[in-house]
Amino acid sequence: MRLGVLDIGSNTVHLLVVDAHRGAQPLPAYSHKAEMRLAEHLHDGDTLSTQGERELRRFIEESLRIAEDKGVEDIMAFATSAVREASNGEDVLGRLRDATGVDLQVLSGQDEARLTFLAVRRWFGWSSGRLLVVDIGGGSLEIASGVEEAPDVAVSLPLGAGRMTRRWFTGDPPPAVEVRDLRRQVRAQIGRVVGDVVKYGRADHAVATSKTFKQLARIAGAAPSAEGPYVRRTLSHKNLSNWTERLTSMTNAQRAGLPGVSSGRAPQLLAGAIVADATMDLFELGELEICPWALREGVILRRLDGMPGT
């Protein structure tokens, strides 16, 4: 069947159309997305602004028209940290549901971690043993570990690249004191959960997902996306640490000139690198392998698992 997945993230809003059948690999058929940066529309006590709600409604309505044109039979719609943390999120979701008919499901941080873990497990298979999966989004960092399709432990921390950039950096590039303060805060928060994760056992295979990790791997020498999803891509902690240091003195325009980095994502790259570097260091990870599947694929797979067998 042809499914539509409407993903309302903190940075990007995305409609992915896939041909999916139970027991088969979901095949992307069409993609429509925009860098709405919804989290930047949170004002006055984390209230989603009228403009943010208006832009979100416009995107949903446009996505519904596209989905109809592409022959989509069913749409799954979900939202992550930006809507989850909006003080008026429920009211906004109710108005959007009344206006568009789309029932956006808000995922918890742990839901995000579990569904992303499922996607990674299906991609790499059982031979990977114990997986450790890390994902840096716009609003949060997800960490999950386990030997089954459901992780033993799933953690979500408010350490997303966009959130950290907005809350800690004032300059372009940011002053050294702000970089140090962010580094200290990030490491303190991650350090609190390391024991909760590793007590289940050390990972046989450490994996990263998300746009942030893909961009960091690309600037560190990984193959470009044009070479396809089956090319093995990795990010070493040594290379990441070197690039994190280099990024601290680069302007947003200079970061946007790096391979694989868009102008919209460039301002968040340094904060994302600081979070990634801290994660690899505190979990003692020498290398991460980049997985092309993440949360959206996890949502699709869970939907297919619930379908009657054929």
CATH at 51? 3.30.420.40
Q: Give Cβ neighbours of residue 23 (< 8 Å, ≥ 6 apart).
A: 304
Confidence check: pLDDT of 308 > 80: no
pLDDT digits (tens, 9 = 90+) for 207-243: 999 999 999 999 999 999 999 999 999 999 999 999 9
- Give domain status of residue 300, yes or no: no
Q: For position 237, what pLDDT does the model report?
A: 98
Find, among 162, 159, 157, 114, the residue nearest to 138 by Cα: 162
Instruction: Note whether 146 and 289 are same-domain residues.
Output: yes
pLDDT, position 24: 85
Query: Could you tell me if 98 and 145 lie in one domain?
Result: no
Whether residue 302 lies inside any domain: the answer is no
Residue 259 has pLDDT above 70, yes or no: yes
In angstroms, rounded to a whole number, what is the distance separating the alpha carbons of residues 126 and 145? 14
pLDDT band at 309, cuts 50/70/90? low
Report d(CA 222, CA 233) in Å as an integer.
5
Say if residue 3's pLDDT is above 60. yes
Residue 148 belongs to some domain of the structure: yes
Q: Distance from first CA to last CA of the chain, Å, rounded? A: 12
Statement: residue 310 has pLDDT above 50 = no
Q: Are residues 102 and 199 in the same domain?
A: no
Position 5 scores a pLDDT of 96
Statement to judge: residues 182 and 151 lie in one domain:
yes
Phi/psi-derived region of residue 37, left when phi > 0, alpha when psi is between -120 and 50, beta in every other case: left
For 101, the domain range is 2-106
Give this prediction's pTM. Answer: 0.95
Q: Residues 51-56: contacts with CB within 8 Å, 24+ apart? A: 53/92, 53/95, 53/96, 56/8, 56/13, 56/92, 56/96
- Specify whether 211 is located in the same domain as 273: yes
Same domain membership, residue 202 and residue 101: no
Alpha-carbon span 299 to 289, nearest angstrom: 21
Residue 257 lies in a domain: yes
With 0-12 CB in 10 A as exposed, 13-18 as middle and 19+ as buried, what is 68? exposed
Q: Indicate whether 204 pLDDT > 90.
A: yes
Residue 202 DSSP code: -
Contact 254, 219 (CB under 8 A): no
Domain boundary (79, 106, 133) is at 106
Angle in degrees, CA 30, 36, 40, rounded to 5: 155
**Omega before residue 173 within 30° of 0, cis:** yes
Given a cut of 70, is residue 107 above it in pLDDT? Answer: yes
The per-residue pLDDT of the chain, averaged, comes to 95
